[in-house]
Amino acid sequence: MLVSVAPLLREAVGARESYDFAESPIDPHGENAGLLEAGVREVDAVLNGTHTDPGIFVEGKAKASVDGQCSRCLTAIAVPVEAEFAEQYYVTRDVISGASLDNPAPVDAKTIGSDFRIDFTPLLAEELIIATPFAPLCQPDCRGLCEVCGEDRNQRPHQHEEAGDPRWAKLKDLEGFQADRD
């Protein structure tokens, strides 16, 4: 999502602008193709920009569908993700004259280039990755994979005889043992 913020930078400090963005599915050849690298398949976002003294402060909310894998049965799933975020973008040039500003941005800060356009795709991808659950489930009561044969228990519920560890097999002989006591 490439947005020109020059009109907002020409306004007084404190001016606000809203940017709505929705794409379902993400076009692999479009300007938001970078979201596909993060596993995002569809996204709906609202971003609010505020003109601040150092540049543009962006607050936003995004809802997306992200490719994932169930942490129990390893089935491919679409994980619903919601993220809220805020980021400061620093302006490096005067919006009227185009001259470089004397106040350099902090070292790791996000900056607004000389074309006064911000690509929000990396910000959205980063925030959606952070908001994606670490261990998503295909359903809350997913039974997972069988630890003996590896089959999906959701597809074929079953149980096996206890195989047991062969190193402990000798202890099985002691199951009914009772020592003679005097």
Quote the pLDDT of residue 108. Answer: 85
Mean pLDDT, residues 158-162: 79
3-state secondary structure of 6: helix
Separation between Cα atoms, residue 92 and residue 179, nearest integer Å: 86
- Amino acid letter at 181? R
- Which tens digits make up the pLDDT trace of 125-142? 999 999 999 999 999 999
Separation between Cα atoms, residue 172 and residue 72, nearest integer Å: 31
84 — pLDDT class (breaks 50, 70, 90): very high
The residue among 178 and 128 whose pLDDT is bigger is 128
| Residue among 40, 83, 36, 43 nearest 60 (CA) | 83
Mean pLDDT, residues 41-63: 93
Can you spell out the DSSP letters for 18-76?
EEEEEESSPPTTSTTTHHHHTTEEEEEEEEEEEE-SSEEEEEEEEEEEEEEE-TTT--E
**Which two tokens mark 54?**
């150092």
